[in-house]
A = this chain, B = another copy of it.
Amino acid sequence: MTVRHELAVAALAPADFVPFGDVIEAAGEGIPINEGMAHRFHDLAAIDAGTGGGRLAISVFRARPWPRPIQVRVMERHPLGSQAFVPMSERPFAVVVAPPGPAPKPEDLRAFVTNGRQGVHYRPGVWHHPLLVLDQPADVLVLDRVGPGVDLDVVSFLAHGIFLTL
């Protein structure tokens, strides 16, 4: 018999995401620019891509909706660089994270869902699940490090039987 654990999914709030990185969104006041035709929400994520001779790459992921129920089968981290995901389609996605450090335990996991207008930035070493697009295909802008060295660690959570409550 497989044990099944539910992982609660919370609406993504910037204060809850501080241990993991930044929420990239137009929140708060903003600075009027372009003769008032736009507001700039400035410098929202300190991307770190330069470690070990790396540089920032700008890519697009075209993602299919993840099959339900969503099981947390793997968590991964990029020790050398941070990674940001910004939706290009106003479509929510789910985020599963754990703080940097040794391989996370099930109780270290936190799950969030974006509101469709929020991106996320994971600091280097933050454990995260691969991109979890929901319901409809979506294009997502991805900013991450390219460069020398192995910048990926993966741990299996398959045996833990953890499912998102979505």
Chain B proximity of A166: nearest CB distance (Å): 16
In the assembled complex, the Cα of A142 lies from the Cα of B38 at a distance in Å of 12
Contact A89 B90 (CB under 8 A): yes
Contact A37 B60 (CB under 8 A): no
Chain B proximity of A99: nearest CB distance (Å): 22
- Encoded as 1 (CB less than 8 Å from any B CB) or 0, chain A from 57 to 92 comes to 111111110100000000000000000101111100
Contacts of A24 in B (CB 8 A): 58, 60, 141
In the assembled complex, the Cα of A148 lies from the Cα of B143 at a distance in Å of 24
Contact B141 A119 (CB under 8 A): yes
In the assembled complex, the Cα of A44 lies from the Cα of B88 at a distance in Å of 15
The tally of residues in A whose CB lies under 8 Å from a CB in B reads 43
Q: What is the chain B residue whose CB lies nearest that of A146?
A: B43
Contact B40 A64 (CB under 8 A): no
Known: A86-B141, A141-B119. A62 touches B30 (CB 8 A): yes
Known: A119-B141, A130-B34. A61 touches B88 (CB 8 A): no
Q: Given known contacts A26-B61, A143-B143, what 8 new A-B pairs fall within 8 Å (CB)?
A: A24-B58, A37-B63, A41-B62, A42-B59, A58-B143, A86-B86, A88-B90, A141-B141
Shortest Cβ-Cβ A-B pairs, 5 listed: A38-B63, A43-B57, A26-B62, A34-B130, A41-B60
Q: Which residues of A line the B interface, CB within 8 A?
A: 24-26, 30, 33-34, 37-45, 47, 56-64, 66, 84, 86-90, 117, 119, 121, 130-131, 133, 139, 141-143, 146
